[in-house]
Structure 1
């Protein structure tokens, strides 16, 4: 036993001997009683004072005493003490104050129903009342422990699964124990514990009222916010899921699920206020989103709350924009109005109304895009469906169509719906649009299999109309144009262009300023795959990070992309900077013209840039910059410096620099993992004397280490056993020798492919698969056999299209 515990237990036992008042002790007295040096005792006693367990009385001599009775505070930390645990606490209080030598309480409830928390609070109460001599809860589980494994001393005991106790073990327990015994049983115990006077029925977390369950979640989130010393942010949709999912493990499981979600969010975000997302949580919580159709009470309870922001002490709620009702209900109301028109129109030809309906849905998505209103897998599945349908029907469905139809289907899965189209109309539509109907039915079966939910009967007819409402004139494959900008600028430009020139080949991509880079990359990749018609994409963008991401995406999905920079934000910033420097209007105007005509807004002469950076806490960027400028050859580079906490902060500051020159490398105290940007550890500056040495490429890139850091699914050892041997087979089978860049690129492709298959995501369709397999039959067969070991190792299955894509990468 540690000395501090010895001192504290002595004070407790000594205080119990004198019940009229708490005795005060000198260090001399305690030194004699405990055979300890007074100097050591003073340090221990002062530590106990700081912990709030002992009171110090100044004077001569200095006196110490156990802190007076605090029994009334024992249950304060227990959430629900004024609601669902109130009756339990009253029963326990009565039991602990009842005059019997061994105090007994029977707790009836399943595992995770708050047994341990109640027992610990009761133990603190008993200890404060000096009913027991040590603040130690001793727990025994009859399932795991021997029934003779009870030690003979006084204390506070929690006996789990007491229904399994034998009569002899129970009698032995009562004869050898003194103090307090809590028995926990998952069911009523008929005869064994019939002499226990005080019985507590524990609540089930799934049966709590919504305010009580929310309050428990709130307590967990506030504790996590305190632990992280930052805010936790949960949107209304995720909170709905936490309130309704079936938590089989009780209070304990709910707490663990939230804590695991926080851990996953922290791993993903690492800095700043932590925004929890549905994908941070397990399947049970994600599936509960589909149960919301039957929970009007939950929607009413959270009405008009968009975000919950938890701090260590408080919870802030932000209000939704004033709308009639929630998003999915709005979609349903619009669907009803469309159905009424269809039922009333004699020939069911209301193409213009259908386009208006889908346009409205796309507008709703844009207004609420930050809320993740569409399931990512459903959106991908819809995109693949429309691309395949377009090939078969000789039509082209753009990205807005994908979003609108995915939102239409999502609302149908969320809101409990009945068929809105009449039986006669459904028969007419199925007959009139037979090919569209068959494609829609196949697609909806995929949706039902992926979500585990049945779609409404007339859903396939709505989809048939959506497919048919696009002009049946085949669009020749052509280059498409994508406008990519920060904020909402891209959508605004697309609307203007479409108004002046109504073409289907112009698309927009808006990037929120605070959006996570990985999420942006995935959204942009999905957009590229959806809009490409096989002839490539011309992108017009405003900020440098778009070009870096698009270059990476072009390599990953094999879509030709060309980028044109239109740096409107930098032109504005240049104008502001010139104005701040006191230039007159004509001078500002002429300089902006020079910048624009030269295509080099704020460019430096040589355009080669280095960036020195560190965290704000370290404040080391200026020192790193000075070291860089001291190297031989530094005059050939422009060196910038800034502090950045985490990838998002880094991205915001690097964006402008990517537009003013060629970024050679970033030199700092941590790797920001920015797309296609070379990172050099600042400590390397100690070992070089010139820029040439600093920027000299290392002998080889540690691709295995990189993949291990980027994918949770596999370790370096996994890669060495699976993908590395396959790479050797790949080069041998196709009779090629990959250079380092090609090797790294193919390794990344394989890792992404395996990760995607392990997560059961919809495969990327390669429409040239049949041609490739027909052209390279032997190679296809050999690669398929080589992939079998990877498939067995990771418990996945490769498709023929996956093999065809691998061949296409090197044979194109």
Structure 2
């Protein structure tokens, strides 16, 4: 080791003693000379060289003292302004101030970004926890992986450290998403229940709210808490009271602080009345929103932790650091940690193969999906600003040693069982002990890479085998940006096609190809007026490509592009009606849509399944998104099978303004016919629906109903087995009702209806009737029946059927102490009408 390095290492240890307020650290040339046994003039020369290299601070005063710069700046959390006024007294004041600040804010002060991007969040959290008498309820918002769960835990620790909570105060964590498919069970977990509150409640049970008394209840994914559950929390927030399920008197007293967290937009996902009771909304920033200095600290910490886990020195290439400073991880900090772990795992395998003591981490160790993103970040306009900053940032190879005390950064702590390094390290240690080869290690790394690629969004495409990735990505971004700015519609396939053309053109230019386009330019003037808009857009495209890829496109190119744009826009004017098939079950809708597309050799109809375990709200949200995607300006026709799905069209139209019409019946022939007619250029959505409804009795009439025939020919034992399976499926969607009992009750009602009305395909009708009625009864029990504006019109159009059903359902109303609303009856009327020989008419 060179003398200068020895002097620097000695000064670092003495600086640590100074920071720790130990007595008499050796910080001047004389004391260092005596301690190291090196001549004073050599010590002075080495210290001054270290000052020139900006590794050491030289302080004013007598005797002249020196400090290790990186250790001081790390402690105070800021860069030092080094001038003649910087004295030992000033350094001590800065350290004292930082120490007091950290002590008052612990454990928040341990967070990376505590006095940066998280400064406002920390202030809000402290205000919420210290507000008398017991604090303010809070809501943490921000993207997935931004640290909301950890921040909530630190709020609890701060409250106990500050004396606002007892040291042993409870901290209860509950993720509402875990039970979002069973709202009753979710509420039972939270509030508990009394004996006989519902089927299966054999004894009293306290919920998590009781467990959190005198502490904090953290509700993650709080937007998954149903409106009923949010309302049940009102009394806790307002009066410190609540009821267990099935309890109606003697409210229970509780004192607790509620901290919620959500990744969703607050408005529309959480009741406004609930939000009014939560005074503080604390936002947690994504990795992308954090400053460059914080990103460096996050990256530094991740690599440092990996070095300690494997017990080996990591040498990380500059390009790797620059990549992680630019990339935008979908899962934010958690994703960054996993990506770095996987990168180090790949480097570890190489180091074992080459028998190298130091693990060298290079860009080549990035997984394929990250390499794709590396190119993407360099071609993206979004990252241009940070790339300019990085040009000014001096980054050298980072070296991370496994020695030293284990650091802990709260944002980066995850359960070891869920981390990538857990499996990798286990196999690695077995390899060191001679119990395993490298093959299992490579297999684990490959599997983890595939998982992360799926989460991150794999941008790798086969197209990059034949074109330049950089040229292609840059061109794609240019086209999308200009299309948006100039309000030009460019379909994805057309954008890719034009990008491929431009990539080929750029390659020709780079190879020195000579373009002879004078003849073309002579013919351009007669067409310029008709292409005025397109030429303007094409000029902008050529200009952007020339600037970003530093290539001069030929003069004729803008006219080629303008002709291409004109052709695309003319094609877009041939708009089509969208087709959405909505059905209960796990595959019915998508199978039907796929069949229609295959028979017509198109890719137009879209299917959306509603499994029995999926809520109506989730299905409605998915249907809204699909309709927004497939609408081309002429609206979307919906083919639905029954129940709540029939309501979706009206709701989505009101929300989005997209015209929809619903055909409240769906068969394979109808779906095929709707898809075929939706492609006709002159067809309107109203004409399409009227045509399908009018012909519904005849479409596919020549096809024998094989399912009914098979069922009729089955022996009695198979029928009983089928009944058991249906009951089993039915019970998965029920909360209060017993599947066997409701099956028998409703089967009797269905047979009565079939005796009075000419039901076609009875077995198909019976299954729909069973699931619709059982869920309708449960909604009535929960007082959550659907409302419907057009129910009066539907009832008036067929008062005979309405009166018949009112009388038929009275025994069910008496048995379950419910009143079935007319709006719900109107859906049942439609179910019967579309399954009778009477042609169904859509009531306007």
If the length of structure 1 is used for normalisation, what is the TM-score?
A: 0.31
Q: TM-score with structure 2 length normalisation?
A: 0.30
The structure showing larger relative contact order (alpha-carbon pairs under 8 Å, at least 6 residues apart) is 2
